C-alpha cells in the first residue's frame, strides 16, 4: 500500500512537473523567511504566489493521492494563516479576516489561525466573536504552552464584551491614581437610548429614544484615526497644524483603503452640502455587537469609493479636536497634547448653543455623556464652539464651521440684543466699562424687558465673562455685590439651559473653598461635576477631579 502511494506520488511529479513542486517549496521557504524577518508586504506577495500555485495543484485533484492532497491542503491552510498574520500586522484587518476564514474552512480548529482571528476581531471590537476564537483555541492540546496568554485574551474579551453590552464603564481607580499607570481598557458602546433621525437643526442628528439622566453614559467609541501634536507655546504653529492635518488625512485614507466597511460608513458622513438629501443610516451599523457587518467579506461592488475631494470635505465638517469647550481630556494634559480625530457616530451630533451632552477623551476613545437631563425624543447635541460667549462671537465661530445656527437661544438673543440698551452694555464692556456696573445694568434691563426663566440663562451665559470677572473680584463685589444676583443663582440659571460646564464648576468650587463650604455645598458641587465629567467617575474619584479642576488655569 505504502509502495503504491509512493509510486503514485512519483507519477504525479512527472505529470505536474518537478519544477512546479520545487518552485512551490522555494516560494514557501521564501515567504516564511520574509514573515520571520517581519517584511510583511513581501511576505504577503510570496504567500499569494504560493497560494495560487497550491490552489492550482489542488484543482488537479485527479493527479494526486489522498495523502498528497492532504499535504497540499495543510500547506494551503498554513499559507492563508501566515498571510493573515502579515496582513493583520499591516492593520489590513478585513483581508486578514478573509484569509483566516479561508484557513478555517480547510481546518476549523487550526490553532494559529484561531489566535490570529481572535486578535483581529478584538481590534475590530467584535468582542464576543473574538472570545469564541480564543476559547476554541484553548481546547487545542497544542495550546498548552500558550495557555496563560490565551487565558489572558479570554478574560480581556469577556471584560470588553461585558462593557460593550452594558456600558458599565468606571474610570474611578485611574482618576484616583492621578492617571498614573496604564489607561483603563475601554470598549465600544452605543447606549440603547439613542438613534439617528432627521433633525430640525440640520440633516441628520442623534436623538434620545428614552429619558436620559444627567451624567449617563451615551456612547464610547474609538477614533478611526487620530493625530496628535505637542503644543510648543500656547497654540500650534501654522506649519505644525499643516503637518498634523496632512498626517491625519493620510491616516484616514489608509484606514479606508484597508477597511471597506469603514470606508462605506465614512462616505455616509456629511460633507456640509445638501444635508437634507442624505440618507439616515441605521444606528446598528455603528454598534460593536453587529459583528456580521464587521466580519462580512468585502467585495468591490459594495464599496462606495470615497474620492479625495469628498473625503477632505467630510474631514473638514466632522473632525473634532480633543481640547474643545465641550470636552475634557483625561490623562495626558500635562504633556500638552493637541489632538484631532474622526469618530464615526459622534459625527452625527449637531451643534447647539444650549448643548445637552459633553465628551471625555481617554486615549483614542471619545466618551459621550448627558450633561443635563434629556427627554425622550430630544436631540442630543454638544457645543462645537463656546456657548459661554456672546452672540456676535458665536456667530463668528459658527461661520468657521459653515453653520448658521438657528437655535432658540440664538433667535431670542438676536431680538433681545438688537435693543439699543443692550447694545450699549455690550459696547461698554468692550470699551472697558466697570464690569460690575455692566452686570447690574444688564440685570436691570432684563427686569425691565421681563426676561424670565430660560431666557435669563441665555443672556447670562452670553455675558458670562463679565459675570465671572465681577464674582472673582473682591473690589467689584464690595461695590456691586448687594445689587446683583448671587453667583450661585447666576451659575445655576446658566446650567439649566446649557448643562454642566467646567468653568461654572470651577467658580462654584472656588467660592466653596473661600467660604469653607460644608457637606451640602460639596454634594451640590459633586452633582455639578457629574454633569461635567459623567457618571463614569464615581464620588470619591470625583473629589480628585474637583481638586484638579480648581487647580487648572482657565
Ligand atoms: C458633524 S456634522 C453633524 C451631522 C450632520 N447634521 C449630518 O447630517 O451628518 C456637522 C454639520 O451639521 C450641520 N450642523 C450642525 N449643527 C448645526 C447647527 N446648529 N445649525 C446649522 N447646521 C448645523 C452643519 O452642516 C455642519 O457642517
Other CB atoms within 10 A of residue 284 CB:
12
- Residue 187 Cα to chain centre, angstroms: 10
Q: Which atom of ligand 1 lies at the shortest distance from residue 203's CA?
A: 8
Return the best residue to mutate from 403, 404, 409, 411 for the ligand 1 pocket (most ligand atoms within 8 A of CB).
403
Please tell me the residue having the least CA distance from ligand 1 atom 13.
Answer: 202
H-assigned helices in 259-367: 260-267, 291-295, 308-318
Rounded Cα distance, 71 and 206, in Å: 54
Question: How many residues are there in the chain?
Answer: 554
Cβ atoms of residues 187 and 204 within 8 Å:
no
Cα(404)–Cα(416) distance, integer angstroms: 18
Report yes or no: 134 and 118 within 8 Å, Cβ to Cβ. Answer: yes
Name the DSSP letter for residue 231: -
Pocket residue to mutate for ligand 1, from 320, 343, 351, 387, most atoms within 8 A of Cβ = 351
In testing the pocket of ligand 1, which one of 197, 202, 269 has its CB within 8 Å of the most ligand atoms? 202
Phi-psi region of 6 (alpha: psi -120 to 50; beta: other; left: phi over 0): alpha
Ligand 1: distance of its center to the CA of 315 in Å? 13
What 3-state class would DSSP assign to 164? helix
- Judged on CB neighbours under 10 Å (0-12, 13-18, 19+), 208 is buried
For the CA of 401, the nearest atom of ligand 1: 27
Return the C-alpha cell found at 392. 456676535
Provide residues with CB under 6 Å of ligand 1: 199, 201-205, 269-270, 272, 275, 278, 317-318, 347-348, 350-352, 401-405, 407
Structural contact between residues 214 and 535, judged by C-beta atoms closer than 8 angstroms: no
pLDDT value at residue 472: 93
For residue 351, report the distance from its CA to the centre of ligand 1, in Å. Answer: 7
CA of 352 to the centre of ligand 1 (A): 10
ipTM for the predicted complex: 0.99
- Residue 554's pLDDT is 57
**What superfamily in CATH does domain 175-382 come from?**
SET domain (2.170.270.10)
The CA 276 to ligand 1 mean position distance, Å, reads 10
Give the sheet arrangement for strand 327-330, strand by strand. Answer: 189-190, 217-222, 365-370, 357-362, 327-330
38 alpha carbon – ligand 1 mean position (Å): 44
Could you tell me the distance, in angstroms and rounded to a whole number, from the CA of residue 402 to the centre of ligand 1?
Answer: 9
Cell numbers that stand for 48 in this block? 499569494
CATH class of 2-166: mainly alpha
Which residue's alpha carbon is nearest to atom 20 within ligand 1? 405
pTM over 0.95: no
270, 313, 315: which to mutate for ligand 1, most atoms within 8 A of CB? 270
Give me ligand 1 centre to Cα 202, in Å: 5
Burial of 302 (0-12, 13-18, 19+ CB in 10 A): exposed
Residue 451 CB partners (closer than 8 Å, separation 6+): 416, 445, 459
Helix (H, G, I), strand (E, B) or coil at 473: coil
320 CA from centroid of ligand 1 (Å): 13
State which ligand 1 atom lies nearest to the alpha carbon of 402: 27
Phi, psi at 210, each rounded to 5°: -140, 170
Domain parsing of the chain, residue ranges: 2-166, 175-382, 391-551
What's the gap in Å between 215 CA and the centre of ligand 1? 24
Give how far Cα 85 sits from Cα of 82, 122, 131, 210, 520, Å: 5, 14, 18, 43, 58
CA of 449 to the centre of ligand 1 (A): 33
Q: Which cell goes with 162?
A: 461585558
Which cell is 125 given? Answer: 471590537
- Ligand 1 atom nearest the C-alpha of 275 is 8
547 CA → ligand 1 middle, Å: 35
CA 523 to CA 546: how far, in whole Å? Answer: 12
Can you state the angle between helices 66-89 and 93-106, rounded to 10 degrees? 160
How far apart CA 409 and CA 416 sit, in angstroms, is: 10
Helices vs. strands in the chain: H and E counts, helices first: 24, 12
The mean pLDDT values, 10 residues at a time, for the chain of 554 residues are 46 54 88 96 96 88 75 95 97 94 97 97 94 95 83 96 94 90 90 96 96 98 91 71 92 89 92 93 85 46 66 95 84 70 97 96 95 97 94 92 87 87 89 92 94 94 96 94 94 96 93 84 92 94 86 67
Query: Which CB contacts under 8 angstroms, 24+ apart, belong to 104-112?
Result: 106/73, 106/74, 106/76, 106/77, 106/80, 107/74, 107/77, 109/136, 109/139, 109/140, 110/77, 110/81, 111/137, 111/140, 111/142, 111/143, 112/78, 112/81, 112/85
Which three three-digit cell numbers place residue 451? 426676561
Cα–Cα distance, 131 to 374 (Å, whole number): 35
Q: Counting atoms of ligand 1 from 1, which one is nearest the CA of 353?
A: 19
CA angle 234, 403, 229 (to 5 degrees): 25
Mutate to test the pocket of ligand 1, among 350, 397, 404 (most ligand atoms within 8 A of CB): 350
317 CA → ligand 1 middle, Å: 8
Rounded Cα–Cα distance for residues 202 and 373 (Å): 22
The single residue listed with the C-alpha cell 448643562 is: 499
Lookup: cell for 157: 474579551
Amino acid at each position: 500500500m505504502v509502495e503504491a502511494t509512493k509510486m503514485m506520488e512519483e507519477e504525479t511529479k512527472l505529470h505536474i512537473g518537478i519544477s512546479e513542486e520545487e518552485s512551490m517549496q522555494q516560494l514557501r521557504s521564501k515567504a516564511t523567511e520574509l514573515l520571520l524577518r517581519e517584511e510583511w508586504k513581501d511576505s504577503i506577495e510570496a504567500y499569494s504566489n504560493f497560494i495560487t500555485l497550491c490552489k492550482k495543484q489542488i484543482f488537479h485533484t485527479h493527479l494526486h493521492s489522498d495523502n498528497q492532497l492532504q499535504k497540499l491542503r495543510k500547506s494551503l491552510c498554513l499559507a492563508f494563516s501566515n498571510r493573515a498574520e502579515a496582513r493583520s500586522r499591516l492593520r489590513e484587518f478585513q483581508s486578514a479576516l478573509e484569509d483566516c476564514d479561508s484557513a478555517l474552512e480547510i481546518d476549523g480548529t487550526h490553532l494559529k489561525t484561531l489566535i490570529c482571528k481572535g486578535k483581529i476581531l478584538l481590534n475590530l471590537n467584535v468582542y464576543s466573536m473574538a472570545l469564541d476564537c480564543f476559547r476554541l483555541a484553548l481546547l487545542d492540546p497544542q495550546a498548552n504552552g500558550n495557555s496563560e496568554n490565551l487565558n489572558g485574551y479570554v478574560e480581556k474579551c469577556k471584560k470588553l464584551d461585558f462593557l460593550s453590552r452594558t456600558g458599565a464603564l468606571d474610570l474611578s481607580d485611574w482618576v484616583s491614581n492621578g492617571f498614573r499607570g496604564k489607561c483603563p481598557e475601554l470598549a465600544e458602546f452605543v447606549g440603547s437610548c439613542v438613534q439617528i433621525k432627521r433633525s430640525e437643526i440640520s440633516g441628520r442628528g442623534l436623538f434620545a429614544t428614552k429619558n436620559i439622566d444627567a451624567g449617563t453614559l451615551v456612547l464610547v467609541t474609538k477614533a478611526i484615526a487620530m493625530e496628535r501634536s505637542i503644543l510648543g507655546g500656547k497654540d500650534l504653529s501654522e506649519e505644525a497644524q499643516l503637518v498634523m492635518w496632512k498626517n491625519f488625512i493620510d491616516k484616514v485614507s489608509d484606514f479606508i483603503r484597508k477597511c471597506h466597511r469603514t470606508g462605506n460608513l465614512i462616505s455616509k458622513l456629511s460633507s456640509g452640502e445638501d444635508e437634507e438629501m442624505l440618507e439616515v443610516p441605521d444606528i446598528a451599523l455603528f454598534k460593536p455587537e453587529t459583528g456580521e457587518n464587521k466580519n462580512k467579506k468585502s467585495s468591490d461592488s459594495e464599496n462606495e469609493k470615497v474620492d479625495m475631494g469628498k473625503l477632505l470635505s467630510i474631514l473638514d465638517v466632522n473632525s473634532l479636536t480633543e481640547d474643545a469647550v465641550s470636552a475634557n481630556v483625561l490623562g495626558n494634559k500635562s504633556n500638552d497634547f493637541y489632538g484631532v480625530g474622526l469618530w464615526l457616530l459622534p459625527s452625527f451630533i449637531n451643534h447647539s448653543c444650549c448643548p445637552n451632552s459633553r465628551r471625555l477623551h481617554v486615549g483614542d476613545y471619545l466618551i459621550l455623556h448627558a450633561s443635563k437631563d434629556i427627554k425622550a425624543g430630544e436631540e442630543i447635541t454638544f457645543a462645537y464652539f463656546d456657548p459661554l460667549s456672546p452672540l456676535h462671537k458665536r456667530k463668528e465661530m459658527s461661520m468657521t464651521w459653515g453653520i448658521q445656527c438657528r437655535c432658540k437661544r440664538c433667535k431670542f438673543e438676536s431680538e433681545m440684543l438688537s435693543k439699543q440698551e443692550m447694545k450699549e452694555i455690550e459696547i461698554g464692556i468692550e470699551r472697558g466699562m466697570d464690569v460690575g456696573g455692566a452686570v447690574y445694568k444688564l440685570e436691570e434691563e432684563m427686569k425691565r424687558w421681563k426676561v424670565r426663566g430660560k431666557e435669563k440663562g441665555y443672556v447670562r451665559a452670553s455675558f458670562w465673562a463679565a459675570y465671572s470677572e465681577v464674582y472673582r473680584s473682591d473690589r467689584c463685589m464690595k461695590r456691586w455685590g448687594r445689587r446683583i444676583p448671587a453667583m450661585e443663582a447666576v451659575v445655576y440659571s446658566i446650567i439649566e439651559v446649557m448643562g454642566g460646564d467646567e468653568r461654572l464648576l470651577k467658580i462654584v468650587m472656588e467660592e466653596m473653598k473661600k467660604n469653607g463650604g460644608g457637606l451640602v455645598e460639596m454634594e451640590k458641587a459633586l452633582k455639578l461635576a457629574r454633569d461635567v465629567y459623567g457618571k463614569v467617575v464615581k464620588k470619591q474619584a470625583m473629589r480628585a477631579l474637583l481638586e484638579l479642576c480648581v487647580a487648572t488655569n482657565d
